Structure 1
Amino acid sequence: MATAALDPTDYPLGLDASVAARMIDMMSIPAAIVGLGNGAVIASATNIAFRRAGFGVVNGRARLLTALGERIEAFLASGERQSAFAHAHGEAIDCRFFQVTLSRSSPMVRDECIVMLVDQTAQHLSERSLRREMKTDALTGLPNREGFGDLIEQAMTGRRHHAVLVVDLHRFGQLNACMGSLVGDELLITVARRLKGALRGRDTLGRIGGDEFGILMAIDDHAEEAQILAERIQRAFAAPFRLTDYEISVEGAVGIAYGFEGDDDAEEMIRHAQFAVKRAKESGRSEVYQPAAFTIARAQFAMETELRHAVEEKRLRLHYQPICDLASGRITKFEALARWRTQDGREISPTEFIPVAEESGLIVPLGRWAIEEAASTLAGWDRAAGGNSGVRMAVNLSAIQLQRDTVVDVIERTLTAAGLTGDRFTLELTESVMVSDPDRIADTMLALKGLGATLALDDFGTGYSNLAYLQKLPIDILKIDRSFVTGMLADRDKLAIVRAILGLAQALGMRTTAEGVETIELGQTLGALGCNYGQGYVYARPLDAAAAWSMLAERNA
């Protein structure tokens, strides 16, 4: 396609050139009249502003036609009344951005149009600067999570193999709370500098969270390059961080996720590295994302969602396992145990859903429901017996419940609603309860004792009981864990442990319950050693409320 030199006097194109020139010069925006003439696109009139915009004549050629000639020719051939599009003009350094509008001066004139330019360079540069600021961490000047994700997406299309490392700072929240945000900010800046020193020149560092940094690296030869970098990072954390007023030792956990060309989800890759860093906190070394572990975690989240609905809709149920007096064989109490059958008929073991409930906080509403349901069942047995049924109810309390819920108030309201006295309830706590917050737990236990409840320490011997706390706390019963009871008759070490626990309980004035009693001989031996109660399959498996009542009526008749 030919283009002609700019000469507004040679090609009037249906409009007197001088008139056209005066009209265009009066416009507040750069404009020109162009058209077809002698088989070429020709500029017939332009104003000074148009030439100043960079579309004047250079070496006898009109830059307007060089840049936009093909678009103008296509517009004139299309018959459209108007067309608008964006156009970048110039080199990268001094590039200017315009909104170009092509419009016909008259419907009757098909071989000419008016070209108008709106300079949007300042707006474009402002938007680009704003986008850059939005993707940059204001404190460290590093890419933030969004900017870091963009860099990963670029790597996914431009590199064959790459890795994302996430570095999480230990104790940063505690430090920030104790020493103030200024110290925390100074530490983050110092950590960023030290991390940069550990990276290769082509690696990219970003801050993707409050105390999390992300690293994007290209894998050149082998995957171990990422693990070598992780080791270098951990060595970088070995020396204390010297701040203005403090010298602080901070450890960093490192998680690694590998990516490949064709992967299309940068955010998922970051999440994988974060999942790996969570495992690194537990193991004390850098960890690589493992899909199998992530699948298990996702299954747990799915279970949490389903369990939440089950708790809200009260679709769980309680089963009751008898606890018998080893001397008389009579049932003295039942332990209430939660059971869960999903809507599709699957039985989920308590060993699976109770940890999920504790981690998610669902143990609080689940625990309240269990207390209320157990009290209701016991009150029903009393009514069926025409008075006191002669048994107590044991309910488990977790450390999370004691920390987050007003357990004393819940128990008191439940007992009142069911018409029961406090001595009809035994509350079983694990040893981890005492470790979590001993002073607060002690106050709660004393308040529960004030209601008349019996307190039992569950799974004794498997945790880290502080004997001083054991002596001070108002514990009535020690439950010997089944791991010591099962096989006790054939294992001298287990027998010695059971004897020691029984002797400790007797010295502290506590009663004892042995879990996992599966044979009559084992129950008799435990009774001869001085154990008070037994619980296990030799008496019964956990039963529903109706079966438990039938067993109680028959055995204690």
Structure 2
Amino acid sequence: MSVRSWPPEQTSGLPLPGGDDAHLPHMIGASEWLTALSQAAAILTCENNAINIVEANEPFLKAFREHRERTAATAQASAEWRARVTGFAQSDRDSESFEIRRDGKLGPEYFLCTLGRLRATGARTEQFLFTAIDRTSERTMEKNLRRELLSDGLTALPNRTGFGEEIDDRLANGSWPDNAQFGIIAIDLSRFSRVNESLGPMAGDELLITVAKRLKSCLRQGDVLARIGGNDFAIFARLNNGLSDSLQIVQRIREALSSPIRLSDLQIRVDCAIGCALSTHLEDDPDDVVRKAQAAVKIAKRTGKVEIYRNGVLKEAQRRFSIESRLRDALAHGGLTLAYQPLIHLQTGEITGFEALARWDDPELGHVSPVEFVPVAEESGLITPLGRWAAYEAAQALSRWDAKFGQALPVGVNVNLSPIQMARDDVASMFEEALRYSGIGGHRLTAELTESAIIADPDKARKLLFALKDLQMPIAMDDFGTGFSNLASLHSLPIDILKIDRSFVSNMLEDHDKAVIVRTILSLAESLNLRVTAEGIETQELADMLQKMGCWQGQGYYFARPMSEADAFDYWRVRWNFETI
């Protein structure tokens, strides 16, 4: 017969009868039950706030009754759990659980305790079942894991997360006067990457450990040192005297790092950039103050001085981040344009060419100046795609002008090169592709580079310049007079044009010294058979004076501001028609 076919039967609801040995005998007492438990357990009563032990097993007696008489600290821990029992007895709850911590012979001990109410019946008074599970090993393991998560394995200092928790703990639990402040001092090891590259990572680790020890010697009581990055350290300092306390710590840091560190057979001097940020009050977000200190240390890396965060620096950093993000999108989706400023032959008034200048109007950021976005592009690595786009677009603009005019225009376009682009990109290949794709001759595309680009890597710059000359491209040295060029480099490099920086040109009528500098550059260029372009010509008087000095070419607002591709073509066509007539 199938189980599904069995007819249902009404049950009585009474327990099924069993043999005599199926039921536990009622003679087993409470002590036997407690002895059978592996954890500490006891039956307690509470009368007039006094706790009496009715029954207890051996683990309870060892863990609680015998423990409480050892020291004053253990007596206090015993009083804690007794107070919890008394509070539970006075309540109406049937059960409760809690954890207690106390100091043992081998360190802190932790117990998870539970209380259950045994209601009074007949002659028996109300009793309570107390059990405690030893969780010391679990807590110790959790503590060790947490320490590993919050500390740096190399230096044993707090990591960035641990640094934040240390700060929160001191702010919450320390005694702070009403006028107290705290500060963050950020430290960046300047040449750490060179040590790793030349001596290997083990030497780098040894350097970090030694620096950590020296920095730790600079701390006062209550200060916290952390390693928050690869070669970045930070100090949380309590400031009773504001900025002066921070500067005293900075001075100790400099003294601690002033003596060289011995690595293998070498002695290495550690240079660092230091930035400080101070809280305005204790309610300031510590993470925000850390970010401000890191913004200050970033400036210190450029200036070589200790930098104190000033209002607006973090906003500037956030804007640079926004610019980087939006610029990346603009390069991917054609959001930039080139503007063209004419170059004028000062003796004839003829337009000899245009300088291509990047322009950016962003839907979210509005108009962004090249003074802003070019440094961000150099810092973020976007200068390579930006420079390639400018070169290709300038060459294509010449090709479109030729098509519109019906023949090749007698003008060229100057394209600026960044020193970082020269270091990271294959510039010669870039220009070769730009010329090939546009179908124009190399003599119509001039590469403009600064003196600093040549000084950074002279050998590489020399190879690049000769490769550009193989493409028949003219080469102009931009912002001449502001760098460190010498006659030897000018004579040996294939440079065709010197561009006098606007800082010398714009005030030369009022400043005799600047006029002398311009005249000297013109004389130097003539002796080296170089042509000269003067930037920043904004008045007719300047143009006339430079013309009399024999300057070859000029550009500036006096002639025209940078203009769009279409307007630049129309500007040339009108001037060309006028000149030919």
Q: TM-score, with normalisation over the residues of structure 2?
A: 0.82
After superposition, what is the alpha-carbon deviation per residue over 1:321-367, rounded to whole angstroms, capped at 9, x for unaligned? Answer: 11122233221211111112231583332223222222222222222
- Cα displacement (A) at 1:100: 3.1
The question of 1:97 aligning with 2:107 is answered no
Alignment partner of 1:185 out of 174, 180, 205: 205
The question of 1:208 aligning with 2:228 is answered yes
Inter-CA distance 221–525: structure 2 relative to 1 (3 Å threshold) = closer
Alignment partner of 1:473 out of 485, 488, 493: 493
The residue identity in structure 2 corresponding to 1:69 is: V
Inter-CA distance 204–525: structure 2 relative to 1 (3 Å threshold) = closer
The residue identity in structure 2 corresponding to 1:508 is: L
Inter-CA distance 180–58: structure 2 relative to 1 (3 Å threshold) = closer
Distance across 2 between alignment mates of 1:39 and 1:321: 94
Inter-CA distance 428–348: structure 2 relative to 1 (3 Å threshold) = same
Distance across 1 between alignment mates of 2:43 and 2:127: 7
Question: Does the 8 Å CA contact 2:113/2:131 hold for their aligned counterparts?
Answer: yes
Question: Does the 8 Å CA contact 1:164/1:215 hold for their aligned counterparts?
Answer: yes
- Cα displacement (A) at 1:420: 2.0
Percent of pairs with identical residues: 42
- Cα displacement (A) at 1:283: 4.0
- Cα displacement (A) at 1:41: 7.5
Map 1:408-427 to 2 at 5 A.
408-427=428-447
Aligned to 1:133: 148
After superposition, what is the alpha-carbon deviation per residue over 1:520-553, rounded to whole angstroms, capped at 9, x for unaligned? Answer: 4543443343322221223211111111111111
Aligned to 1:28: 38
Aligned to 1:10: none
The question of 1:156 aligning with 2:171 is answered yes
Question: Does the 8 Å CA contact 1:57/1:63 hold for their aligned counterparts?
Answer: no
Question: Does the 8 Å CA contact 1:145/1:206 hold for their aligned counterparts?
Answer: yes
- Cα displacement (A) at 1:123: 0.9
Distance across 2 between alignment mates of 1:90 and 1:156: 26
Aligned to 2:271: 251
The question of 1:530 aligning with 2:550 is answered yes
The question of 1:73 aligning with 2:89 is answered yes
Question: Does the 8 Å CA contact 1:156/1:260 hold for their aligned counterparts?
Answer: no
The question of 1:224 aligning with 2:240 is answered no
Which secondary structure state, in structure 2, belongs to the residue aligned with residue 78 of structure 1? coil
After superposition, what is the alpha-carbon deviation per residue over 1:357-380, rounded to whole angstroms, capped at 9, x for unaligned? Answer: 222222222222222222222111
Aligned to 1:7: none
Map 1:440-519 to 2 at 5 A.
440-519=460-539
Question: Does the 8 Å CA contact 1:55/1:64 hold for their aligned counterparts?
Answer: no
Question: Does the 8 Å CA contact 1:227/1:286 hold for their aligned counterparts?
Answer: no
Alignment partner of 2:562 out of 530, 542, 545: 542
Question: Does the 8 Å CA contact 2:296/2:313 hold for their aligned counterparts?
Answer: no
Aligned to 1:330: 350
Aligned to 1:142: 157
Question: Does the 8 Å CA contact 1:321/1:335 hold for their aligned counterparts?
Answer: yes
* Structure 2 alignment gaps of length 5 or more: 1-24, 70-74
Alignment partner of 1:377 out of 397, 413, 421: 397
The residue identity in structure 1 corresponding to 2:166 is: L
The question of 1:277 aligning with 2:297 is answered yes
The question of 1:47 aligning with 2:94 is answered no
Question: Does the 8 Å CA contact 1:161/1:258 hold for their aligned counterparts?
Answer: yes
Which secondary structure state, in structure 2, belongs to the residue aligned with residue 458 of structure 1? strand
Question: Does the 8 Å CA contact 1:457/1:475 hold for their aligned counterparts?
Answer: yes
Aligned to 1:168: 188
Question: Does the 8 Å CA contact 2:295/2:313 hold for their aligned counterparts?
Answer: no
* Structure 1 alignment gaps of length 5 or more: 1-14
Distance across 1 between alignment mates of 2:260 and 2:103: 51
Map 1:112-131 to 2 at 5 A.
114-131=129-146
Inter-CA distance 265–92: structure 2 relative to 1 (3 Å threshold) = farther
Distance across 2 between alignment mates of 1:228 and 1:184: 28
Inter-CA distance 260–492: structure 2 relative to 1 (3 Å threshold) = closer
- Cα displacement (A) at 1:443: 1.4
Distance across 1 between alignment mates of 2:547 and 2:527: 17
Distance across 2 between alignment mates of 1:252 and 1:496: 41
Aligned to 1:319: 339
Distance across 1 between alignment mates of 2:242 and 2:289: 19
Alignment partner of 2:328 out of 300, 305, 308: 308
Question: Does the 8 Å CA contact 2:81/2:100 hold for their aligned counterparts?
Answer: no
The residue identity in structure 1 corresponding to 2:36 is: M
Distance across 2 between alignment mates of 1:172 and 1:211: 7
Superposed CA RMSD in Å reads 3.4
Alignment partner of 2:421 out of 401, 404, 411: 401
Distance across 1 between alignment mates of 2:239 and 2:540: 64
Distance across 1 between alignment mates of 2:510 and 2:80: 99
Inter-CA distance 237–316: structure 2 relative to 1 (3 Å threshold) = same
After superposition, what is the alpha-carbon deviation per residue over 1:445-464, rounded to whole angstroms, capped at 9, x for unaligned? Answer: 22222222221111111222
- Cα displacement (A) at 1:383: 0.8
Distance across 2 between alignment mates of 1:404 and 1:222: 44
Question: Does the 8 Å CA contact 1:426/1:454 hold for their aligned counterparts?
Answer: yes
Question: Does the 8 Å CA contact 1:17/1:45 hold for their aligned counterparts?
Answer: no
Distance across 1 between alignment mates of 2:342 and 2:402: 16
Map 1:236-247 to 2 at 5 A.
236-242=256-262, 245-247=265-267
Question: Does the 8 Å CA contact 2:323/2:373 hold for their aligned counterparts?
Answer: yes
